[in-house]
Amino acid sequence: MKNPYIENIKYFTSTKDALHYVGGIPEVTSHTLKSLKAQGLQPYHTLLDVGAGCFRMHTVIDYLNQGHYFAIEGNSSLVNQGLDYLKEKGVDKVPIYTVNQDFEIGLLEEPYFDFVLISGVVCHMTDDEIEHMFSKLFQFTAHHTKVIVTFIDNNTVDKNFRGTPYTHLKTFLPDEYESTLISYYHPRGLKMMMITRTINSA
Ligand SMILES: C[S@@+](CC[C@H](N)C(=O)[O-])C[C@H]1O[C@@H](n2cnc3c(N)ncnc32)[C@H](O)[C@@H]1O
């Protein structure tokens, strides 16, 4: 079974509908940028946005130098609306993206990323999908890469959201990775964790 975003690909004709579909709450972008900066994000860093949707993270895109924001997203219609959304927001930076549902990050032709953002994605995924995503992703992380993930820290299971407590999420990490909870505000109470390689890993 796949998550609803991939099992039932929807088509959008307006940025408003696309934004609503990825969760609304446009101010999430500023809360996210604040947390990323607190972890050291600088404009010259590269960042991969996994499940980027309709580029709700426009302030992150605008903050980074041109050519430093990369995205992978499974729904081409969301991406197309996202390009319009960036224009509406006055962002003249152009994302480097690929539309792909199997985390084929190599298509972006970037050997590794300084930061990876996975926002509002794992709460729609099954355990198998989370495991699969991490296994693909960790091929593109270097020792200094910071993987930032938002999640719901309880066992809620409903039509739209799946709680994946921190203690459970940590079990998906290979031995050479470690994680920590980091500061983040989300109006619906999502939490944020940062995954890095352990200092002694090969
Ligand atoms: C709730 S939305 C969040 C979008 C964006 N990260 C944000 O915060 O605005 C979840 C996104 O993950 C994408 N997604 C889910 N599974 C995916 C997969 N296997 N490959 C690529 N994208 C995926 C969905 O298409 C959707 O755009």
CATH superfamily of 4-197: Vaccinia Virus protein VP39 (3.40.50.150)
Q: Where are the domains of the chain?
A: 4-197
pLDDT of the residue at 199: 77
Answer whether residue 202 shows pLDDT above 70.
no
Q: Which residues pair with 191 in a beta bridge?
A: 151
User: Residues 24-72: pLDDT tens digits?
Assistant: 999 999 999 999 999 999 999 999 999 999 999 999 999 999 999 999 9
Atom of ligand 1 nearest to the CA of 129: 19
The reported pLDDT for the residue numbered 20 is 96
Ligand 1 pocket test: pick from 1, 2, 5 the residue with the most ligand atoms within 8 Å of its Cβ. Answer: 5
Nearest ligand 1 atom to the CA of 54 is: 9
- Give the Cα separation of 154 and 17 in Å (integer): 28
How confident is the model at residue 1, as a pLDDT?
53
Q: pTM of this prediction?
A: 0.96
User: Which pairs with CB-CB distance under 8 Å and at least 24 residues apart come from 2-8?
Assistant: 2/126, 2/129, 3/124, 3/125, 3/126, 3/129, 4/124, 4/159, 4/160, 5/51, 5/74, 5/75, 5/124, 6/74, 6/75, 6/101
Q: How confident is the model at residue 6 (pLDDT cuts 50, 70, 90)?
A: confident
End-to-end CA distance of the chain: 34
Q: 57, 41 in Cβ contact below 8 A?
A: no
CB 60 within 8 A of CB 68: no
Ligand 1 atom showing the smallest separation from residue 9 Cα: 25
State which ligand 1 atom lies nearest to the alpha carbon of 78: 27
What is the Cα–Cα distance from 182 to 166, expressed in whole angstroms? Answer: 12
Question: 119 alpha carbon to ligand 1 midpoint, in Å?
Answer: 8
- Within 6 A (CB) of ligand 1 lie 3, 5-6, 22-23, 51-53, 56, 72-75, 78, 101, 119-121, 124
